[in-house]
Amino acid sequence: MSNEQSMRRVTAIRNGTVIDHVPSGQALRVLEMLGIAGETSVPVSLVMNVPSKKLGSKDIIKVEDRELTQGELDRLALVAPDAHVAIIRAYVVAEKLSINLGDEVVNVVRCTFSNCITTNAREPQPHRLRVVSRDPLHLRCHYCGRPQDLDELVKNAL
């Protein structure tokens, strides 16, 4: 099946964001990380486990009437660092956004360790996670040094 056929499983959107090349089975995690899961007023379409030349299989997410912000792209980097993001305006790709996972993730998510100094919401310094490895993705808190569980981390988006 061609990429075009995969995309056409759901209708083209007029305005919004298409997130393509999401690792297979990760679409729901991506939505949770972006805060789009559950109650949302915008239409969201997703296809999961469709064939992909690059990944073997992949998920695709279309969010209508909403353009991802830089903060949301930073969060996306933690669950789908190789995803392609396109902003759609009047049915055409108006902009392609790149996802950059640097050496450190700052003020994107909170450390998942319950006794970390950063759990005190009044402490003003930034939340910082170090990228220890990219594939597979391993993160550690800059302050307490604890490794981060990605499933828990999606619940700690800022």
Partner 1 sequence: MTGLITMDDLTNEEILSILDDAERLLPVARGEMHLPLLQGRIMGNLFFEPSTRTRMSFETAMKRLGGGVVNLGDVKTSSVVKGETLFDTIQMVDGYTDIIAMRHPRQGAAQYAQDAARVPILNGGDGAGNHPTQTMLDLFTIRQAHGRLDGLKVVLAGDLRYGRTVHSLSHALTRFGCELIFASPSLLRMPAEIVSDLREHGSNVVETEDLYGCINDADVIYMTRIQKERFADEDEYARCAGAYKLHAKHLGDVKGDMIIMHPLPRVDEIDPSVDVTRHARYFEQAFNGVVARMALLCKLLGVPVPEDVASAGRVL
Name the site residues for partner 1 (rule: CB under 8 A): 111, 113, 115-120, 122-125, 141-147
Cα separation values, 132 from 53, 102, 107, 121, Å: 29, 11, 17, 25
Residue 33: CB minimum distance to partner 1, A: 23
Please say which residue, 95 or 104, places its beta carbon nearer to partner 1. 104
Residue 19: CB minimum distance to partner 1, A: 32
Residue 26: CB minimum distance to partner 1, A: 24
Please say which residue, 12 or 144, places its beta carbon nearer to partner 1. 144
Buried b (16+ CB within 10 A) or exposed e, 89-125: eeeeeeeebebebeeebeebbbbbbeebebeeeeeee
Cis peptide before 124 (omega within 30 of 0): no
Please say which residue, 102 or 124, places its beta carbon nearer to partner 1. 124
Distance (Å, rounded) from C-alpha 45 to C-alpha 61?
6
Read off φ and ψ for residue 62, nearest 5 degrees.
-125, 125
Residue 128: CB minimum distance to partner 1, A: 9
Distance (Å, rounded) from C-alpha 129 to C-alpha 106?
7
Please say which residue, 72 or 113, places its beta carbon nearer to partner 1. 113
Residue 39: CB minimum distance to partner 1, A: 33
Please say which residue, 42 or 158, places its beta carbon nearer to partner 1. 158
